[in-house]
């Protein structure tokens, strides 16, 4: 005879009945083949409704803990194999995790996005709608380049926003640009010479290094990477950010763009990877056509990501391949499944299609340009300006300040860190030695709150006192 005492809490009663009986079956208190009380008896003895017991028995039966014999009743199943083989305690082993960067009161080195700006409720609503409408599609493995709806939505967005004409099948969706770089190495070959901008995005050295590729570095002048450098380092593949270079902020002018394209056309097997990661946030002047749009010879691979424009949690990036490379991709790499979940692909497609993405971008562009304006105003009015020159071109999520000081950037970084202020020196982004003296700092303003101004500009006196 089963007798339980049920608690009055927010766990539904049928769930409590289910849990208790299941526990007794697993622990062996109820033996295989043992008959359970009828629903009516159980309900009567415990003073609860028959429906509650019915629900609990149904759940137990559907999970295989009990079975029914018609006109006889419910019996305990033989669940030897379900029993927990639990040993006691959790383990914790001697694993050395990568160090977390310390938290600073004022952090101008991170281009983290302010969560208040992401339309979570719209995203949740679209996602719920798709979950209820597309269940069949969720059981299918996503095709290698991503679902067509999303690629089509991206193609339409690029047409109206960037003036780019793209066939959706040229677009390859992947879980982050890091993943896509890996695919690109597999497509283009690890035997090629990959060249990146100096200063530049250090992580590329790590990623390419995993494929035994030793990156070449090409230094830049005030128009960006130079063709002489590309030539002298023997590059096959040039990895560049022509629209808003990180960290220098340089926008490559049209003349240089055509020079670089001409370089790529000189030889078979040369390609340009165009990273357009923050082009959405350009605020001044007309958008500059992408290298991809002015390339007539299938030499440019375009890359962009929604991790920057929406939220880093959405791991959706894409690359656009020239036609002959797209064909090579499908013939050689289509055994890969797409790395992004269908649910998020459909949600993002709807988000773009219904105009939410454009609205979000417009709102964020305005938000960031106000953040920048406010910070620039504060800087310009501050005493810091006596020793500091601002270098910015109205785009992206950061600008540079150059300091006129005898201290090295590392000395300044250290002093600021003591006051819990984090600035990142431009020199940290030089990939080869020789530029350490360049005393410039990157100011990322995407997630700075109002409180920061007080701390930052209240601090300027300290900075002066310490002879910066």
- Residue count (the chain): 468
Residues numbered 46 to 65 that lie near a second copy (CB under 8 A) are: 59, 62-65
According to the binding rule CB under 8 A, does residue 383 interact with a second copy?
A: no
Which among 134-142, 241-249, 407-415, 452-460 is the span making contact with a second copy, rule CB under 8 A?
134-142
Closer CB to a second copy, 178 or 419, in the complex: 178
Whichever of 362 and 410 has its CB closer to a second copy, that residue is 362
Shortest spacing between CB 194 and a second copy, in angstroms? 16
Give least dist CB 171 to a second copy, A. Answer: 11
Report the alpha-carbon distance of residue 347 to residue 241 in Å, rounded. 29
Does residue 146 bind a second copy (CB under 8 A)? no
Q: Do residues 426 and 248 make contact, with C-beta atoms less than 8 angstroms apart? A: yes
Compare residues 283 and 408 and give the one whose CB is closer to a second copy: 283
Pairing of strands 106-107, 421-422: parallel
Q: Return the residues of window 301-320 that contact a second copy according to CB under 8 A.
A: 307, 311-316
Contact indicator for 183, 333 with CB cutoff of 8 Å = yes
Question: Judged by CB, which is closer to a second copy: 1, or 141?
Answer: 141
Q: Is 342 in the site for a second copy (CB under 8 A)?
A: yes
By CB under 8 A, tell whether 214 contacts a second copy: no
Is residue 373 close enough to count as binding a second copy by CB under 8 A?
no
Instruction: Give yes or no for a cis peptide into 56 (omega within 30° of 0).
Output: no
Nearer to a second copy by C-beta: 192 or 402? Answer: 192
CB atoms within 10 A of CB 168: 17
Q: Is 385 in the site for a second copy (CB under 8 A)?
A: no
Contact 249, 398 (CB under 8 A): yes
Nearer residue to a second copy within complex by CB, 186 or 226: 186
If binding is defined by CB under 8 A, does position 137 make contact with a second copy? yes
Query: Among 245, 282, 372, 422, which residue sits at the site for a second copy (rule: CB under 8 A)?
Result: 282
CB of residue 221 vs a second copy: minimum separation in angstroms?
26
Determine the size of the site formed for a second copy (CB under 8 A): 108
Minimum Å gap between C-beta 216 and a second copy is 20
Sheet holding 317-320, edge to edge: 171-174, 317-320, 300-305, 271-275, 237-240, 194-198, 216-221, 224-225
**Residue 81, interface with a second copy (CB under 8 A)?**
yes
Does residue 68 bind a second copy (CB under 8 A)? no
Residue 381 C-beta: closest distance to a second copy, Å = 22
Among 123, 263, 277, 357, binds a second copy (CB under 8 A): 123
Q: Which one, of 81, 108, 89, 5, lies nearest residue 47 by Cα? A: 5
Nearest residue (CB) to a second copy, 83 versus 389: 83
Distance in angstroms (rounded) separating the CA atoms of residues 335 and 350: 27
Beta bridge partners of 432: none
CA-based torsion, 232, 238, 241, 246: positive or negative: negative
Residues 192-211 that bind a second copy (CB under 8 A): 203, 206-207, 210-211
Q: How far is CA 350 from the centre of its chain?
A: 19
Is 132 a residue that touches a second copy (CB under 8 A)?
yes
> Which residues are within 8 A (CB) of 144 and not within 5 positions of it... i.e. 6 or more apart?
172, 330, 333, 334, 335, 336, 337, 338
Assign 18 to helix, strand or coil.
helix
Conformation bin of residue 224: beta by default, left when phi > 0, alpha when psi is -120 to 50: left
Q: Is 245 in the site for a second copy (CB under 8 A)?
A: no
| DSSP-assigned states of every residue in 68-126 | EETTTEEEE---GGGS--PPSS-------PPPPPPP-SEE-S--PPPGGGS-HHHHHHH
Residue 52 or 342: the one with the smaller Cβ distance to a second copy is 342
Name which position in 190, 254, 294, 461 contacts a second copy (CB under 8 A): 190
- 13 is an interface residue for a second copy by CB under 8 A: no
Residue 75 makes contact with a second copy by CB under 8 A: no
Q: How far apart are CA 203 and CA 340, in angstroms?
A: 22
User: x/- contact string, 249-268, with a second copy (CB under 8 A)?
Assistant: --------------------
Residue ranges in 151-180 that form contacts with a second copy under rule CB under 8 A: 155-156, 159-163, 165-167, 169-170, 175-176, 178-179
Segment 395-434, which members bind a second copy (CB under 8 A)?
none
Q: Which of 11, 51, 124, 451 binds a second copy (CB under 8 A)?
A: 124
- CA-to-CA distance for 81 and 328, rounded, in angstroms? 48
Q: Is 431 helix (H, G, I), strand (E, B) or coil?
A: coil
Choose which of 21, 43, 150, 326 interacts with a second copy (CB under 8 A): 326
């Amino acid at each position: 005879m089963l007798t339980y005492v049920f608690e009055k809490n927010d766990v539904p009663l049928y769930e409590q009945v289910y849990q208790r009986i299941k526990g007794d079956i697993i622990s062996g208190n109820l033996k295989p083949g043992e008959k359970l009380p009828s629903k009516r008896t159980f309900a009567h003895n415990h003073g609860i409704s028959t429906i509650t017991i019915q629900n609990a028995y149904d759940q137990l039966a559907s999970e295989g803990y009990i079975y029914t014999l018609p006109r006889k009743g419910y019996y305990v199943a033989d669940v030897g194999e379900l029993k927990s083989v639990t040993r006691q305690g959790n383990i914790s082993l001697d694993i050395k995790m990568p160090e977390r960067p310390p938290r600073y009161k004022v952090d101008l080195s991170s281009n983290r996005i302010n969560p208040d700006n992401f339309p979570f409720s719209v995203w949740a609503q679209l996602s719920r709608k798709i979950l209820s409408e597309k269940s069949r599609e969720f059981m299918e493995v996503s095709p290698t380049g991503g679902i067509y709806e999303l690629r089509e939505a991206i193609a339409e967005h690029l047409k109206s926003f960037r003036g780019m004409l793209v066939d959706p099948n040229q677009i390859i969706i992947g879980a982050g640009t890091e993943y896509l770089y890996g695919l690109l190495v597999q497509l283009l070959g690890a035997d090629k010479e990959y060249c990146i901008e100096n200063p530049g995005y250090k992580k590329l050295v790590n990623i390419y290094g995993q494929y035994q590729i030793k990156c070449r570095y090409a230094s830049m002048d005030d128009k960006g990477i130079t063709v002489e450098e590309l030539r002298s380092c023997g590059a096959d593949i040039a990895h560049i950010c022509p629209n808003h270079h990180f960290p220098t902020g340089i926008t490559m002018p049209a003349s240089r763009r055509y020079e670089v394209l001409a370089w790529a056309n000189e030889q078979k097997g040369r390609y340009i990877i165009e990273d357009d990661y923050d082009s959405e946030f350009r605020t001044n002047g007309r958008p500059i056509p992408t290298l991809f749009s002015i390339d007539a010879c299938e030499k440019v691979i375009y890359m962009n990501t929604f991790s920057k424009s929406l939220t880093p949690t959405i791991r959706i990036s894409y690359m656009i391949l020239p036609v002959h490379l797209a064909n090579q991709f499908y013939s050689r790499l289509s055994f890969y499944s797409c790395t992004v979940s269908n649910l998020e692909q459909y949600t993002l497609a709807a988000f773009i299609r219904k105009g939410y993405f454009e609205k979000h971008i417009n709102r964020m562009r305005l938000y960031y340009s106000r953040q920048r304006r406010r910070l620039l105003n504060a800087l310009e009015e501050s005493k810091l300006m006596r020793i500091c020159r601002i270098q910015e071109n109205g785009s992206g999520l950061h600008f540079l300040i150059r300091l006129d000081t005898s201290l090295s950037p590392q000395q300044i970084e250290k002093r600021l860190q003591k006051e819990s202020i984090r600035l990142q020196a431009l020199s940290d982004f030089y990939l080869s030695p020789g530029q350490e003296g360049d005393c410039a700092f990157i100011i990322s303003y995407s997630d700075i709150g109002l409180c920061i101004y007080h701390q930052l500009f209240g601090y300027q006196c300290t900075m002066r006192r310490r002879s910066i």
